Structure 1
Amino acid sequence: MKTLPAALAALLLAACQPQDPEGKPAPPPADAPATANPVGTTMDISKPITARGTEPFWALSIDGKAFRLTRPDRPDLTAEAPGAAISDGRAVWVAKTPDGRQMTVTLYASECSDGMSDLKYPMSAEVVLLDEALRGCAAKTAELPREGG
């Protein structure tokens, strides 16, 4: 008996979604905000990349298949990944540390600000470890934004 109200609610919600004359979802309005990961966005990950975050402070260097995570008051953590899974607007690596722990690194092709300065980075970054998720910004190491220029 509980499935009937749920099915009715789903049907009503579907009926409220804008559709074109052929029944397909309508395109977003012209004044709709841009999506965070635009479809068709490609990422160049062929050069070394540096990701940074605040609260807590951390930095990650990506050089091909090698990763180095640095954080204050902790030993550096190194890892290797066979390569990135690349899809529209993002690249994902599943890396392993020498002792077998997993580090998942995701870069998104979306502008990012570090929250402590007005610096703008071309990518957002996420590093996920077993017990922690770090979020920040990233850019090719040679093109990192700098204060005053």
Structure 2
Amino acid sequence: MPPITHKTLLSVMVVAGLSLAACYDRNDSAPKPAPVPETAAELGGVDLSRPVRVLGTEPFWSIEITPDALVYTGVDQPEQRAPNRGVTVQGTVATFTTTTSLNQPLNVSLIATECSDGMSDRTYPLTARVEIGDQTLNGCGASTAAIMAGGESGPVVEPAAG
């Protein structure tokens, strides 16, 4: 076997380096972005990308959830508007988290369980828990269209398309 010279060693190192460089992709070492959480646009048969109304009694209050905003109204309370920053859906719970025009934190949690408002004979497809400022409210929810189309009793269901 011939002696290994500096020139031979250098040649082997260059070839090995070129071989490795051919396999190396800079993007492989770049940090990967976090996967975008999958969020369903539907909960309990309610399309959350369309207007939804959440309401409660004692005291009477409501929140209109539109693609752009959440608007809280309550008896003897100032109306508060907040940007709709999107919904996070995990299993049977959907959560909207934002801050109102009066700088109050607003968290709306919708749960895919049947709900009665306690005052009428209506049943809603969603149970709601709302935290606004230091107040916690419990109520029910459904699409605005279903609430507007529903009667005074029975289940609040989506109106037939057409």
Band the TM-score falls in, shorter-chain normalisation = 0.5 to 0.7
Preserved contact between residue 103 and residue 130 of structure 1 (Cα < 8 Å): yes
List, as ranges, runs of 4+ consecutive aligned residues in structure 1 with deviation greater than 2 Å: 40-44, 98-101
- Where do 5+ consecutive residues of structure 2 fail to align? 1-42, 155-162
Moved more, 42-51 or 67-76: 42-51
Is the helix fraction higher in 1 or 2?
2
TM-score (norm: length of structure 2):
0.62
Q: Structure 1: how far apart are the matches of 2:58 and 2:126?
A: 18
Q: Of 129, 135, 140, which aligns to 1:137?
A: 140
Residues 36-75 of structure 1 aligned to structure 2 (within 5 Å): 44-75=47-78
Cα drift, residue 43 of structure 1 = 5.3
Query: Which is greater in Rg?
Result: 2
Deviation at 1:113, TM superposition (A): 0.4
5+ residue gaps, structure 1, are 1-39
Say if 1:114 and 1:137, in contact at 8 Å, map to a contact too: yes
- Identity across aligned pairs (percent)? 38
From 71, 81, 85, the equivalent of 2:84 is: 81
Conservation of the 8 A alpha-carbon contact between 1:43 and 1:109 = no
Contact 1:43 1:90 in 2 (8 A): no
Deviations, residues 87-120 of structure 1 (Å, cap 9, x unaligned): 1111101111134321001111110000111101
TM-score by length of 1: 0.67
Mapped partners of 2:97, 2:153: distance in 1: 35
C-alpha RMSD over aligned residues: 2.0
Per the alignment, do residues 87 and 41 of structure 1 end up closer, same or farther by CA in structure 2, a change over 3 Å counting? farther
Structure having the higher strand fraction is 2
Measured at CA, do residues 60 and 49 of structure 1 come closer, stay the same or move farther in structure 2, by a change above 3 Å? Answer: same
| Number of the residue aligned with 1:147 | 152
How has the CA–CA distance of structure 1 residues 41 and 87 changed in structure 2, closer, same or farther, with 3 Å as cutoff? farther
Deviates more, 1:109-118 or 1:96-105: 96-105
Q: Report if the CA contact (8 A) 1:61-1:68 is conserved.
A: yes
Give aligned pairs, total.
110
